[in-house]
Amino acid sequence: MIKAWLRPWRDRAFQLLALAIIIAGFALSSIILLHAELEQRFAVRTAEMLGGELTLTGTRAPEPDQRELLKNKPIATVVDFSTVLVHNDELLLVSARAVDDHYPLYGQMQTAQGRFDKAQAAPQGPSPGELWVADQVLDRLNVKPGDRLAIGSKELLLSAVIRQLPDQSAGFYSMSPRIVFNAKDLASTGVLGPGTRITYRQMISGDAATIAKLQDNLDATLRPDQRLEDIENAAVRSMGPLRQLTLWANLAVLLVAMLCGATIYLATSERVARRARLAGLLRSFGAPRRQIISRLLGAEFIAILPASAAGSLLSIGLITIIHQSLDWQGSLAATGVQWLTILIAPLVLWLAFALPRLTALIRVPAIDILNQRNKAKPLSTNIELTAALGAPVLLAGFLTSSLADLGNLLVLLVVLGAGLPALLWPLLKGLDLISGKLPLASRLALRRLSRRPALTLPLLAALTMAMAVIALAGQTGNQLLDEWRSRLPEQAPNHFVLNLFEKDFQVFNQWLDKQEAVTQPLYPIVRGRLTEINGVPVSQAVTKEKENRNEALNRDLALTEAADMLASNKINSGAWHPAKNTVSVEQELADRLGLKLGDKLMFITSRGSVNTEIASLREVDWDTFEPNFYFMFAPGGLAEQDITWLTGFWLPDGDGKRLAELMMQLPHITLLDVNTLLNKANEIIGQASGATALLAVLLMIAAVLVLTAALLGGQAQRGRDNALLRTLGGDRALLYRVTWAEFITLCGSAGLAATIIIFSALYPLTAQLLNDTPTLSYWQLTPLLIGIVVASIGVLASRGALNIPALSLLRDES
Amino acid sequence: MKTPLQSEPLLQTQPLLVAESLGKTVPGPDGELTLLEGIDFTLSPGQSVAITGPSGSGKSTLLGLLAGLDTPTSGQVLLEGKPFSQLDEDGRAIRRGQLCAFVFQHFHLVNDLNALENVMLPLELKGAANPKVTASHWLERVGLEHRLKHFPSTLSGGEQQRVALARAFAVQPRLLFADEPTGSLDHANGGRIGELLFDLNRETGTALVLVTHDEQLAGRCQRHLQLEEGRLFEKPEPGPVSTKEISARDAAP
């Protein structure tokens, strides 16, 4: 039995076919698994931001009936409020959070043991009696871990420094440093009295069905101050760049599959040619069709199963490695349907590209044995074509979850599939016409190519597609990555300094010069609270519902003024500071508060009030590690206010001593360390970069596989021609010249066609589909590089045909 | 069998092809397998010789050795009095291209080249002047002037072999090797090709080594040799005379 399984594997054509199945299976499975992972990551990220799949927020604790509904559910409770932290008669306004033992349900907290120590993951919040504080608290109160600090009437032991909370919003709009302590200590602090502004938040975790049911039940019980938020309606950043990258990845993977399909078709043709004699023999022995189907087709199918499984297993291995290296929790995210797809995707290719060919074996007539014909009659071209065209549609369906994406993908495929032969055929004919004037070797090579259009055209098309897509996907992918990278340049600021005064500049600059730190501009900061919109108090101007969703209200905001806009910002409407007393507002905040151009705003500051008028609405890219602001005033707009300064700088991670030196000299400043966030972002960029490279490599392998399969089919003819050339007096150098000329022409034409495609047809298509303008880059040279590699591989793979002895022509080997 | 032609001028010239004690062994499952042994053979310019023998007697192997397509394990081949079999592969190929031509059983035309280009191919390899004119002339000579642009796949077997004949004679070879030239053709076509082969051979004065199963075709050669179990014998005149092993010396004209 095992022997029967292994027998086909001895044939080179079958090995090639199996390799194509493995590569296609690997590529398809990987993208499906990766897609599932990314979607889950996105959901988890949203859940991390929310703190759970569902959150119930209110200004008071939940009612008993609500508590009953939440009973026995995985739930974490936090209580957020503003309070004052006291140490040695020094006071500091802080954003306090009391957490229970279940917090956090999602994500990770990171803490450090000292001000400049490395961050470590903390599975649970502080124990009763303990307090965790943000870096700024250490700076502002001049305390260190081990000190005791008071919240209201309760003294707590400072036990760790907070580096990251999972549901911590980034940004600089809140000026109050964060502290975290155990909810069991909350009552004994005595700070929660009437008038204290408190947010109770229940974070619930659960599957979609449970959450939906709970949401329905809770909805009926909500008090006016309460609101529910789930992942769906959470305001989350769009998956824009990720979607674009996914579309390209899907196209590249689909092409890998199609190229593998071509390999499967060519290798199967060769295999059928080799098996036709056996089929004829079996027929002459009286074997019925059924027996031939089970003996030849069945054996072929069973033998291909391990290859099909191998591709999927390889991809599972790869995704598991990525899963672990990125420290993603839980098991692989693929759903049952996705696992089924992974299982059948390579077999779909086999069914579409191999089976129609293989059925020819059933129709080999016994008489062929007598007349030595042994040529299997293939199924009608229509059936083969339908199967070959149906497969990509089916696979594209496997890869995309949305009809729009599927449409885009198919449009790209049709353009490639129909446009390429139309483009390449004249090229081939042109080559044939000019070949008359070329030296013998080149002429022979060109005629080999131009006069076998059935073999050359698909091969040229395959190579052209591979080259064009590697170049375009590489370029688009890199463009996206570059964009991300530009937000995170290698020396992006990993520390921010707040509360810097003008008198500190000299000391601070001296320190920066000494460290050779990479610095950022200084931004003036004024703390202010938005109180009136067009003369109406905010509490009336903004509805309760809007306010609930808005953490920008009722707290001090960091206002700034600047002559120039930040490079990562974009004006959506209005003009950048047309007059002195104007302000530019972040678009999303403006939308939430219902602000529009021309609205008059009033802020209360420590020096009184600031009045201004909205002159522009700005789009802000919160992913950059630059300071971003909701309100940016025209220069001079904050002139009379108490100004402190904010800046960022880059220092190698973990250089605690140098930072300590700065803190000694300027003890009142606040230093923020964002290394943890920065490292995570860099890691993701690295992985995306690796994925692009892997796709390019897979495409290359697939293209080479097609070439090898095509060569395998034409090997006998090629060998005979070479032997004939030798018999007629051609030396070995001539054979090499012909072979090199053939592959250089093949790959050169493919490269030329790919370049034409890149610059003409697909270029505008990219712009339209990806909403992106492709730029010139070294990626345009990829067709050339791939051409050189593939031509060399072609010559190497043809070595066998170069060494066919001339004597073979005398033997019965025609 | 016809009496070999032994004209005076031929006697005075140097032999064109000489095989001395030629032997060929190949490794087999039970040790060395002897394919050819002690072959001595001389061919004069313009002379035609047929080699016949049962299947597996080593005809193709001998033709391969004589044409320098393969190298002997013992003995040597001389072409125009110069060592031929000792040359390296490229050396033999170039020499073969200068002096020899081939006609094969399976025609062996290049499928990607049309009739004209197929005939031009050896001329171009040789660096001959005006290959197109010469090739057209020879295709006309074999009666295919209306098929110049046809590809092998659109030609009948007989037509393909005629292209092969034109290709062989176009280079004006001193020596033509023909391996079963009628073996893939029906009787009528085979007869016509045989006729054409000997007509052209006579016209051009090319020496001919013909390997064939066709006794009638072999009978048209000046000499007829027979291979049996790797050894070469002069085919006796028809009659009850036993075969006699020949040597280079006594076979010389």
Query: pLDDT for A395-436, tens place per residue?
Result: 777 777 666 666 776 776 677 666 777 778 888 888 888 877
- Please tell me chain B's helix, strand, coil percentages from 3-state DSSP, rounded to the nearest 5: 35, 25, 40
Distances (CA, A) of B213 to A487, A809, B51, B216: 83, 17, 9, 9
Name every residue whose Cβ is closer than 8 Å to that of residue A344 and which is 6 or more positions away in sequence. none
Distances (CA, A) of A4 to A8, A94, A308, A346, A522: 8, 75, 18, 22, 76
d(CA A364, CA A361): 5
Please tell me the predicted confidence (pLDDT) of residue A426.
86
Please tell me the predicted confidence (pLDDT) of residue A601.
92
B4 band by pLDDT with thresholds 50, 70 and 90: very low
> Can you give the residue ranges of every domain in chain B?
8-251
Please tell me the predicted confidence (pLDDT) of residue A487.
62
A402 φ/ψ sector (left φ>0, alpha ψ -120 to 50, else beta) = beta
Lowest-confidence region among A136-145, A224-233, A628-637: A224-233
Whether residue A793 is contained in a domain is answered as yes
Beta pairing partners, A772: none
Distances (CA, A) of A434 to A396, A427, B105, B130: 41, 11, 34, 19
Whether A678 has a pLDDT exceeding 70, the answer reads no
Whether residue A64 is contained in a domain is answered as no
B77 band by pLDDT with thresholds 50, 70 and 90: very high
**Three-class SS state of A369:** helix
Q: Which of A303-312, A458-467, A697-706, B237-246 has the highest mean pLDDT?
A: A303-312
Give per-residue pLDDT as tens, A474-523.
Answer: 776 666 666 666 666 667 777 888 778 888 888 888 888 887 777 778 88
Tokens representing residue B197 in the block: 């082969």
A64 preceded by cis ω (within 30°)?
Answer: no
Distances (CA, A) of A93 to A85, A86, B154: 6, 9, 95
d(CA A266, CA A262): 6
A544 is in which domain, residue-wise? 518-650
ipTM of the complex: 0.80
For residues A122-151, b (16+ Cβ closer than 10 Å) or e, as one string? beebbeebbbbbbbbbbbbbebebebebeb
Compute φ and ψ for B205, nearest 5 degrees: 65, 25
Cβ of residue A720 closer than 8 Å to a chain B Cβ:
yes
**Three-class SS state of B7:** coil
Q: Supply the mean pLDDT for chain B.
A: 84
Tokens representing residue A711 in the block: 């060569």
- Asked whether A722 and A801 are in contact (CB, 8 A), the reply is yes
d(CA A733, CA A502): 79
A380 band by pLDDT with thresholds 50, 70 and 90: low
What percentage of chain A exceeds 70 in pLDDT?
Answer: 80
d(CA A762, CA A619): 30
**CB contact residues (below 8 A), chain B span 179-238, against chain A:** 179
What percentage of chain B exceeds 90 in pLDDT?
Answer: 46
Q: Which of A446, A718, A727 to mutate to test the interface with B (most CBs of B within 10 A)?
A: A727
Q: Minimal CA–CA distance to A632: which of A670, A592, A601, A674?
A: A601
Q: Which amino acid is at A655?
A: D
d(CA A337, CA A347): 16
Does the beta-carbon distance from A729 to B67 stay under 8 Å?
Answer: no
Task: Show residues of chain A in contact with B67, CB under 8 Å.
Answer: 727
Compute φ and ψ for B36, nearest 5 degrees: -135, 150
Indicate if the alpha-carbon torsion angle B93, B97, B100, B102 is positive or negative: positive
- Asked whether A477 and A692 are in contact (CB, 8 A), the reply is yes
Q: Minimal CA–CA distance to A60: which of A82, A81, A76?
A: A81
Q: What does the DSSP assignment read for A549-573? A: T-TTTTS-EEEEE-SS--TT-EEEE
Which one of A447, A730, A807 has the shortest CB-CB distance to B69? A807
**CB contact residues (below 8 A), chain B span 123-162, against chain A:** 124-126, 151
What percentage of chain A exceeds 90 in pLDDT?
Answer: 7
A276 shares a domain with A395: yes
Whether residue A233 is contained in a domain is answered as no
Please tell me the predicted confidence (pLDDT) of residue B5.
33
Please name the CATH architecture into which domain B8-251 falls.
3-Layer(aba) Sandwich (3.40)
Q: What is the mean pLDDT of residues A98-120?
A: 84
Please tell me the predicted confidence (pLDDT) of residue A615.
92
Please return the burial class of A564, using the count of CB atoms within 10 Å of its CB with bins 0-12, 13-18 and 19+. Answer: exposed
Q: Supply the mean pLDDT for chain A.
A: 79
Instruction: Please report where in the chains the tokens 């021609």 appear, as a residue.
Output: A721
Distance from CA of A446 to the nearest CA of B (A): 10
Which one of B70, B113, B125 has the shortest CB-CB distance to A447? B113
Please tell me the predicted confidence (pLDDT) of residue A224.
75
Whether A562 has a pLDDT exceeding 70, the answer reads yes
Whether B126 has a pLDDT exceeding 60, the answer reads yes
Distances (CA, A) of A709 to A15, A262, A309, A554: 10, 9, 22, 70
Query: How many CB atoms lie under 10 A from the CB of residue A595?
Result: 21
β-pairing, B175-179 with B207-211?
A: parallel
Does the beta-carbon distance from B125 to A448 stay under 8 Å?
Answer: no
**Looking at A401, A422, A447, which one is the last position of a domain?**
A401
Name every residue whose Cβ is closer than 8 Å to that of residue A760 and which is 6 or more positions away in sequence. none
Does the beta-carbon distance from B97 to A447 stay under 8 Å?
Answer: no
d(CA A311, CA A19): 9
d(CA B242, CA A792): 60
Whether residue A505 is contained in a domain is answered as no
A329 band by pLDDT with thresholds 50, 70 and 90: low
B119 band by pLDDT with thresholds 50, 70 and 90: very high
Q: Minimal CA–CA distance to A157: which of A133, A137, A130?
A: A130
Beta pairing partners, A54: A204, A230
Distance from CA of A433 to the nearest CA of B (A): 13
- Asked whether A611 and A564 are in contact (CB, 8 A), the reply is no
Number of domains forming the structure of chain A = 4
Whether A364 has a pLDDT exceeding 80, the answer reads no
- Asked whether A164 and A104 are in contact (CB, 8 A), the reply is no
Query: How many CB atoms lie under 10 A from the CB of residue A489?
Result: 12
Instruction: Please report where in the chains the tokens 């909350």 appear, as a residue.
Output: A186
Distances (CA, A) of B175 to B61, B93, B98, B215, B246: 18, 14, 10, 21, 22
Give per-residue pLDDT as tens, A149-158.
Answer: 998 888 999 9
Distance from CA of B151 to the nearest CA of A (A): 10
A190 shares a domain with A111: yes
A804: nearest CA partner in chain B: B69
Cβ of residue A686 closer than 8 Å to a chain B Cβ:
no
Whether residue A513 is contained in a domain is answered as no
Distance from CA of B62 to the nearest CA of A (A): 10
Give per-residue pLDDT as tens, A789-813.
Answer: 889 988 888 888 888 777 777 765 4
B99: nearest CA partner in chain A: A729
Instruction: Please report where in the chains the tokens 């960022």 appear, as a residue.
Output: A648
Name every residue whose Cβ is closer than 8 Å to that of residue A389 and which is 6 or more positions away in sequence. none
Does the beta-carbon distance from B106 to A814 stay under 8 Å?
Answer: yes
d(CA A195, CA A82): 11
Distance from CA of B14 to the nearest CA of A (A): 23
Q: Specify the length of chain A in residues.
A: 814
d(CA A8, CA A275): 10
A798 shares a domain with A736: yes
Please tell me the predicted confidence (pLDDT) of residue B224.
92
Does the beta-carbon distance from B69 to A724 stay under 8 Å?
Answer: no
Lowest-confidence region among A530-534, A579-583, A764-768: A764-768
Q: What is the mean pLDDT of residues A384-391?
A: 75
A131 shares a domain with A46: no
**Looking at A401, A426, A454, which one is the last position of a domain?**
A401
Task: Show residues of chain A in contact with B121, CB under 8 Å.
Answer: 725, 728
A694 shares a domain with A614: no
A379 band by pLDDT with thresholds 50, 70 and 90: low
For residues A692-706, b (16+ Cβ closer than 10 Å) or e, as one string? bebbbebbbbbbbbb
- Please tell me chain A's helix, strand, coil percentages from 3-state DSSP, rounded to the nearest 5: 55, 15, 25
Lowest-confidence region among A135-139, A404-408, A635-639, A760-764: A760-764
Compute φ and ψ for A81, nearest 5 degrees: -160, 160
Whether residue A773 is contained in a domain is answered as yes
**Three-class SS state of A92:** strand
Whether residue A482 is contained in a domain is answered as yes
B180: nearest CA partner in chain A: A810
- Give the H or E element holding residue A204: strand A198-204
Cβ of residue A726 closer than 8 Å to a chain B Cβ:
yes
Cβ of residue A596 closer than 8 Å to a chain B Cβ:
no
Please tell me the predicted confidence (pLDDT) of residue B166.
94
Does the beta-carbon distance from A809 to B108 stay under 8 Å?
Answer: yes
A722: nearest CA partner in chain B: B110
Please tell me the predicted confidence (pLDDT) of residue A763.
65
- Asked whether A655 and A624 are in contact (CB, 8 A), the reply is no
Please tell me the predicted confidence (pLDDT) of residue A174.
46
A176 band by pLDDT with thresholds 50, 70 and 90: low
Please tell me the predicted confidence (pLDDT) of residue B20.
93
Distances (CA, A) of B168 to A380, B85, B138: 41, 22, 9
Task: Show residues of chain B in contact with A732, CB under 8 Å.
Answer: 89-90, 93
Please tell me the predicted confidence (pLDDT) of residue A157.
93
- Asked whether A622 and A628 are in contact (CB, 8 A), the reply is yes
- Asked whether A246 and A35 are in contact (CB, 8 A), the reply is yes
β-pairing, A570-574 with A557-561?
A: unpaired
d(CA A523, CA A559): 10
- Kindly report the CA angle at A463 between A460 and A468, in degrees rounded to 5? 120
- Kindly report the CA angle at A221 between A219 and A223, in degrees rounded to 5? 100
Beta pairing partners, A111: A120, A162
Does the beta-carbon distance from A807 to B64 stay under 8 Å?
Answer: yes
Distance from CA of A731 to the nearest CA of B (A): 5
Q: Specify the length of chain B in residues.
A: 253
Please tell me the predicted confidence (pLDDT) of residue A237.
40
Name every residue whose Cβ is closer than 8 Å to that of residue A402 and which is 6 or more positions away in sequence. none
A44 or A280, which is more confident: A280
